[in-house]
Structure 1
Amino acid sequence: MTKGPRRESTLVGAATEDAYDVFAPLLEKYWGPDLHSGYWDDPEDDTPPERAAARLTEIVTDRLRVGPGSRVLDVGCGNGRPAVSLAARTGARVTGIDVNRRALRAATAHARDSGVEQLVSFECADALRPPFPAGSFDAVVLFEVTPHFELDELFPALARLLRPSGRLVLESPYARVSPTERMRQRTAEYYELIDAVSLETLGGHVGLAESVGLRPVEFRDVTEHTAPTWPRLLERLRRNWGEVERCLGAETAEHAVRVVGRWREMPEIGNMIMTLVRADDVLPPG
């Protein structure tokens, strides 16, 4: 595991909210509203980033295997676009949680405008201390959220919320190799930029999941399919660099581009979709 400084609660506090408020408006405008990686079939695929991100949302959603009557928790839901898409696609009832109140207000407005306010709700809550009874959800989904947490804290908190045979599906960066000093040095600035704390290997994910009764049923490395995300976003940002500098300041803008570029160029870091199932005969701690 490559790690930043450990915090008592990694998605609660001003740092994460401040980082989101600084970067989200620009990213929503030039990357697209889903605010996670896109998915392209191959290098010749010219799908716009907005549609590519929506495609990844759909790929992850389909792995939840939910439908009308199901209850789904979206952890770190941000502006709520994937949650709304999930509800519209499946008919499931979706609860999104996040610590950014501005993002949650935008999420609520989007659900209303999309006509799914009866299916989707949003709450300001800490994912490490979720305010729901045990066994509340048929599925839990996370889009590029796990680096903000220590997994030995996150997995127990979420496993407790799943009903027997419930699914946890995460789309996330991960360490393809055991961390080296080079990796730690090159990821330190990125952790600071996005207020993250750790990046686990596949084996680390599996071991920690199994320790709380979550059984892996599918792993898919989607690195090659998500790799175009940063180059295509950067191209758009550079075409509109005047606005980027006005919003962030020239020094902050160049720093952010440099740091994210170094992160995205590291072959030791991949992107994955992992599906875990709550074992029927194991009661998670807590």
Structure 2
Amino acid sequence: MRLRKASALAASVLALSLAATACGSSDDEGGDGGSDGAGSGGGDSITIGIKFDQPGLGLQTPDGDYAGFDVDVATYIAGELGYEPDQIEWVESPSAERENLLSRGDVDFIAATYSITPEREEQVSFAGPYLLAHQDLLMRVGETVSSPDEINELTLCSVAGSTSAQNVQNDFAPDAQLLEMGTYSECLTGLENGTVDALTTDDSILAGYASQEANQGKFELAGLELSNENYGVGIPKDDTELQQQINDALTSMVESGAWDQAVEDNFGPAGYEAEAAPAIGEIV
């Protein structure tokens, strides 16, 4: 991102140098030197990865807009970095593709229910965290479970590449049958038609799906805090400058009250009670 701005500045300086060389030592007026520089915005844009199918977090609406808590966080960060909302290019970032998008440079950063884990930190870096969620189950109304042990008897659905799918296999339900799909929307379809017994992922995501008008009265959360999921902003590996800039932006968002407002706007309708804003750099 800042590299783009630096490149724009370098190009401007080079163009002015070439113009001066062409003019030589003549007395001709060589232009007014009225460039606004890289900070003027111009045609610059910032590319941000989000989910497109997670109500309450990252959702592409029927009219082509984007809504959700992650969208609000990303928009606030972009604003602190000097970008207006109309300068943001949103890129769909499925769970299994997030590291690839960052390593290829397809996005400047990612805010897409991206849990900070040691394994991921080997490939990318993170700013934040900016939200603490917990893994849970979404089930059909009346079919809940009362303990983690009962999960082993279920057929679960989660998204390939997510920490939720890994947790099922490695931690709390190694005997459960796990179906991994490309998106949570596909899992929800399987839950509705009876192909699976439960959709498992973060409670923040599940609450968003349960609160959709078409799903109200059909599904409910089991209420099991099966893990801690510290949502971070994914950035290219070892970009410490960008990491600090985003951490400063997140701190400002919390201190200004904008973080609390985003929580209310996006999670309030679902009745989901989010944890307090986590401290920057504190993983629980």
Q: TM-score range by the shorter chain?
A: 0.3 to 0.5
TM-score (norm 2): 0.34
TM-score (norm 1): 0.34
Larger Rg: 2
